[in-house]
Amino acid sequence: MEALLKILEELHPEIDFDSHEHLIDEKVLDSFDIITLIAEINDEYDVAIPAHEIIPENFNSAKALYSLIERLQDED
């Protein structure tokens, strides 16, 4: 989780990712951010987030994103 937050903060230093719950709905993260994010997550956690998992529910908060990562790691 720490590492994820670090990645996110690097993208948008002005956002408090601990508490923000509408990253997609409020257009904080755009599609460029998302694919950068996915590349870095792939680096950090060694999971590939497939395209069909790119839905608002999975990216709206750092927490949701982290649980997605955990789920994908689990599936491996």
Partner 1 sequence: MLFTSYSFIFFLCILISLYYLIPKRLQWKFLLLGSFVFYFFSGWSNLLYILVTIISTYFTGLKIDDLNRKQNAYLKENKGQITKEERKLYKEKIKAKQWKLLLICLIFNLGILAVVKYTNFAIANINSVLSMFRMTELSFVNLILPMGISFYTFKTMGYIIDVYRGKYEPERNIGKLALFVSFFPQLIQGPISRYDDLSKSLYQEHSFDSQTFSYGFQRVLWGYFKKLVVADRIVAAVLTITRNPDIYDGVYVFVGMVFYAIQLYADFTGGIDITIGVAQMLGIEVKENFIRPYFSKSIVEYWRRWHITMGTWFRDYIFYPLSVCKPMLNLSKASRNRFGDKIGKRVPVYLATMMVWFTTGIWHGSSWNFIVWGLLNGVVILISQELEPLYAKFHQKVKIGDTFGFRLFRVIRTFLLMSSLRILDCYRDVGISFKMFFTMFTKPDIRVLFDGSLLKLGLDASDYVVLIIGVIVLLTFSLIQRKGSVREMLSYNSAVLRYSIYIILFFSVLIFGAYGIGFDSNQFIYNQF
Q: Is 74 near partner 1 (CB under 8 A)?
A: no
**In whole angstroms, what is the distance from residue 43 CA to residue 11 CA?**
15
**In this structure, which long-range contacts are made by residues 51-57, counting pairs with CB atoms below 8 Å and at least 24 apart in sequence?**
56/24, 56/25
Which residue among 3, 15, 34, 72 contacts partner 1 (CB under 8 A)?
A: 34
Angle at 65 between CA 59 and CA 51, to 5 degrees: 65
Q: Is 57 near partner 1 (CB under 8 A)?
A: no
Q: Is 64 near partner 1 (CB under 8 A)?
A: no
Residues at the interface with partner 1 (CB under 8 A): 30-32, 34-36, 38-40, 42-43, 48-52, 54, 76
